[in-house]
Chain A
Amino acid sequence: METRQALRPLRILFHATLPVTHTPVFRSVASRRHQSTASRTKKMLKIPPHPDFLTPVSGQNHIIYNPPPSTASVYHTPFKFLPKSDPRRQANLSQLVRSSPDLHPSSRSATALPPLTRKTEARERKYNVTREQVEEMRELRAKDPMRWGVLNLAKKYDCSPVFIMMCCKASAEHKGREKERLEAIKARWGPIRTEARNEKKKRRVLLFQGAL
């Protein structure tokens, strides 16, 4: 153990020169897990320790904090959720500056943030549908629910499907028809797909309990 510690600086030197001397000709050699002989394989697999684990240049001991990756605990309140009276808020005021884009619009651009999961995430809420239009869409939906489905209406009035569903209610007759159609589709499912769908339902319940 002692000799290993002593040899470390030497090894650093050795590995620093390694890429120059040992660069493989073919790229596939780098991904190969064995060499022709056992001793060469052993030698190849001898990996130097990560620089963090070596004694630093200053020669002093140091602490390495490297927790395994995991989701943050829900008991750790995000800075934004701390109330004004909380002492942790006063102690960490630099966060406040960081979190308000109005103060430093130039220092942090939107590119520094991770990408959106989908484009519709950044959609502004626009309250563009008027009362008359709501009446109109109800009429359309009542007159011909097959032609004026939720998605078609949403496209026509440039609003979200949820808003259409909040405004209009399909007739019982149309609902019954749709239900029959769905039942017919379900009747064609075999045991495997039926079971898979049931499990999907159970997973969804667990998801909303935060247990998945």
Chain B
Amino acid sequence: MLAPEQIFNEEESHESSEESASFQQANLPRKTLPSPHPDRAPRSAKLAALHARLSLSKKIPLQILARTLVDPSADAHPQFNNANLAFVGASLLQYHTSEWIVTRYPRLPMGIVFSAMNGYAGGPALLRIARAWGVEAAAAPGEKVDPGYLQYSREKPTVLVHKWGYARAEVKELEKYKWRRGMSSRVIFDDPFGNTVSKEPKEPKDPKDPKEAAELEFRQTRDPDNSEIRDGDQNAHANFVRAVVGAVYLYCGSEAAKTFIKAFVLSRTLDISNLFSFRLPQRELTRLCDRENFDPPVARLLSETGRLSRTPVYVVGIYSGYDMLGEAAGSDLESAKIAASINALKSWYLYSPPNVSLPSDTFEEGAAPWEPAYIDMGEIIS
């Protein structure tokens, strides 16, 4: 097991490429390398295909692409694995994703921003991207494996990229006693997805725990093909994608990295309206109308059918004054009203200003001066 602090430290035990070359020349018995030698990268058809498939620039050498495929669990040497590249890539990915979400949907509540971040740049999303790129994992990492395979060890846990988070002192109690964590403290202390950062590795999930079992069942129903994704697989694939972003940044510059992220990460469809879950939608809407000086919301019956039948349908609209804020159909008046309130709230939260420019657009030379983005007052407190 490698502690995260050790990623960036040099390790003396690993032999450098020159040393290994001299060993080969002397024809002496030597220790096998933990990952394929970088010299083999230009001769790998898989790597060349991947390079072409991602339309990467010629400036990015195949050796670096080979290095992005080596996980720290396979090769602990920081000059041969992708930990450093993944770290750069992760910060770029998170910056561009968060900037994109916040300027595009300025009214989203913080919890939804966190889930949207996870949906675009989180581990599961990056795993899918890696699979879509056609990257396959090697059965076992080693010197003789083709460098075009993703090298990681299933036995050893891999290293999480979580340097940029504050490990809370009370993290153990948070997990053990399920202490409440406020949203604003998540913004300050936790990682970009709103999860706690802990120094110790997470304990393996206990299948006997009813909550874990329920989650596993939920995963299986949602995604029957991927029901057995282990965290190690996901982490290795995600780190590979991050490392490619980092390599693009290092060899082609920040603009190219931004274009790359836009093309492969932000272009994916994520229906943000599905991420919401409300507790008291009617009260929240009333609070919103009070805050914005709108008329109080009232439910009006737009149409109905089969009131006396077994399956009635009511279409209810929520009106504030003469304006309809949201409408929905339901099998009884109460649930139709709740659904309509939820739709009204979603249409408030999902407001998107037209022609938004991103702060990173001004990084270019000769870019237009920054026009301030729309900033909302904040979440509705009910």
Which A residues are closer than 8 A to B by beta carbons? 71-72, 74-83, 85-88, 98-101, 108, 113-118, 121-122, 125, 207-212
Contacts and interface: CB of A to CB of B under 8 A. Distances in A.
Contacts of B245: none
Given A76-B347, A88-B354, A207 B339 contact: yes
Contacts of B274: 210-211
Interface string B265-287: 00000000110111101000000
A89 to B, nearest CB: 11
Interface of B: 273-274, 276-279, 281, 294, 296, 298-302, 314, 316-317, 319-330, 333, 335-339, 342-344, 346-348, 350-354, 374, 376
Nearest to A81: B348
A86 B351 CA distance: 10
B102 to A, nearest CB: 15
Contact of A208 (B281, B326, B333): B281
A114 B342 contact: no
Contacts of B346: 74, 210
Contacts of B276: 209-210
B322 A115 contact: no
Contacts of A115: 300-301
Nearest to A100: B321
A74 B301 CA distance: 19
A72 B336 CA distance: 14
Contacts of B302: 114
Given A117-B299, A208-B342, A212-B330, 12 more contacts: A72-B326, A76-B347, A78-B323, A87-B354, A101-B322, A108-B322, A115-B301, A116-B300, A117-B337, A121-B300, A209-B276, A210-B343
Contacts of A122: 298
A201 B7 CA distance: 49
Residues of B contacting A: mostly: mixed
A114 B336 CA distance: 15
A71 B296 contact: no
A207 B278 CA distance: 9
A81 to B, nearest CB: 5
A109 to B, nearest CB: 11
Shortest beta-carbon contacts, A-B, top 8: A74-B346, A114-B300, A117-B299, A121-B298, A80-B323, A74-B347, A209-B277, A77-B351
Given A74-B343, A125-B296, A99 B321 contact: yes
B339 A78 contact: no
B296 A78 contact: no
A81 B351 CA distance: 8
B217 to A, nearest CB: 14
Contacts of B317: 114
Contacts of A210: 273-274, 276-278, 339, 342-343, 346
10 contacts: A76-B347, A78-B344, A79-B323, A80-B325, A88-B354, A114-B302, A115-B301, A210-B339, A210-B343, A212-B335
A108 B322 CA distance: 9
B115 to A, nearest CB: 13
Contacts of A74: 273, 326, 343, 346-347, 350
Contacts of A207: 335, 338-339
Contacts of A99: 321-323
B79 to A, nearest CB: 47
A101 B321 contact: yes
A208 B280 CA distance: 8
B157 to A, nearest CB: 34
Nearest to B325: A78
A55 B337 CA distance: 43
Contacts of B347: 72, 74-78, 81
Nearest to B328: A71
B323 A113 contact: no
A118 B298 CA distance: 10
Nearest to B377: A83
Nearest to A110: B322
Given A113-B319, A114-B317, A125-B296, A75 B333 contact: no
Nearest to A78: B325
B353 A78 contact: no
A98 B322 contact: yes
